[in-house]
Homo-oligomer: A and B are copies of this chain.
Amino acid sequence: MKVNNKHYRTIWMEGETIRIINQPLLPHKFEILNINNLEELKRAINDMQIRGAGAIGAAAGYGLAQAALKAKDENFFETVISAADEIKHTRPTAQNLFTIINRMLSGIIDKEQNPGDTRKALKAEAERYADYDANACKMIGKFGAELIKDGAKVSTHCNAGWLAFVDWGSALSPVYYAVNEQKKNVFVYVDETRPRCQGSRLTAWELVQEKIPHAIIADNVTGALMWKGEIDLVIVGADRIAANGDVANKIGTYSSAVVAKENGIPFYVAAPSSTIDPDCESGGSIPIEERNQDETLYMFGMDDKGDLSRVRISPAESSALNLGFDVTPAEYIKGIITEKGIFPASKEGISTILRGNHNG
């Protein structure tokens, strides 16, 4: 990704400091935030200063590495294992967080080893995961771009671009590849994605940086455009993919998929294979986060004076139900775009991805 023509990742580590693009300030202000300890890391994930399945995974990996770097020798393993547990309790839905932490817990953290080697190994694994994520997303772009015809109008939901990963993104990566590498013309309809508006805040901002033509639409508009034949293709990201191909993603994905199918519009999910939860049989057993109702009762943004502010858009006496994600059953998904190729959203397709075969 390039921001103002300079190359960035969404998250990286310098010495013992984790550095992230501070996402709640976007699109109004571009700022790098330093994360110095576990408390700051947990807050960054909880408050969505860093968000998106891949970026949360990278934050978890770097966070555990940082905890190890800062832990004292005398209670090293207790501290690190406890940190792993705390990181796993920040947000429940995105699989990538559990993938990296579990891999560190089972593959690296070994009380027989000495703290020094473990610190180095955890740091290396966090870096490896971040590189894997960036490279996998680039490959998603390459495979997915084949689905995008010159002149296509693509619909996307939430933000599954660079900001949701370490680089490139998942759902937007095919668009970037098609435009930048293949010189195709692509127009993107950006669902604003209430309540947090990751579409209008983040996806639109990425597309501005990439100079890709787009229009922000209220989530309510997507279906009407599908009905009018204005959308050729839908690509969304995923927070967790079950073993049968069901997908948990940002709330609203399910409705988009149902209406797309009704109108014969191909609906694709783009995600690195680290998003797959092989222990999860079907979408019904994916834990769905319920978030603070103020996200629905208020809207946060920049006021006319240029200050970040909020406005209440509901009666003081009303409450809200704020589900963060929904489940899209596999039957609505035309295919899953991964770093290994494009696979059917089915038990067979998922197990092929997990076996490491690819069709691309």
Which residues does A use to contact B, with CB under 8 Å? 27-28, 189-190, 192-195, 197, 200-201, 204-205, 207-208, 214-225, 227, 250-252, 254-255, 258-259, 262, 296-304, 309-323, 326-327
Contact = CB atoms under 8 A, between A and B. Distances in A.
A304 B309 contact: yes
B262 A296 contact: no
For the residues of A in contact with B, the DSSP-based class is mixed
A319 B214 CA distance: 8
A252 B227 contact: no
19 contacts: A192-B296, A194-B220, A195-B218, A197-B313, A201-B315, A205-B315, A205-B318, A208-B317, A215-B318, A216-B314, A217-B323, A218-B252, A219-B220, A223-B258, A223-B326, A227-B326, A262-B262, A299-B311, A303-B311
B258 A214 contact: no
A321 B311 CA distance: 23
Among A320, A323, A326, residue most surrounded by chain B Cβ atoms (within 10 Å)? A320
Contact of A194 (B192, B255, B297, B327): B192
Contact of A326 (B224, B258, B310, B326): B224
A24 to B, nearest CB: 12
B216 A297 contact: yes
Contacts of A296: 192, 200, 216-218
Nearest to A193: B220
Given A311-B309, A314-B204, A252 B219 contact: yes
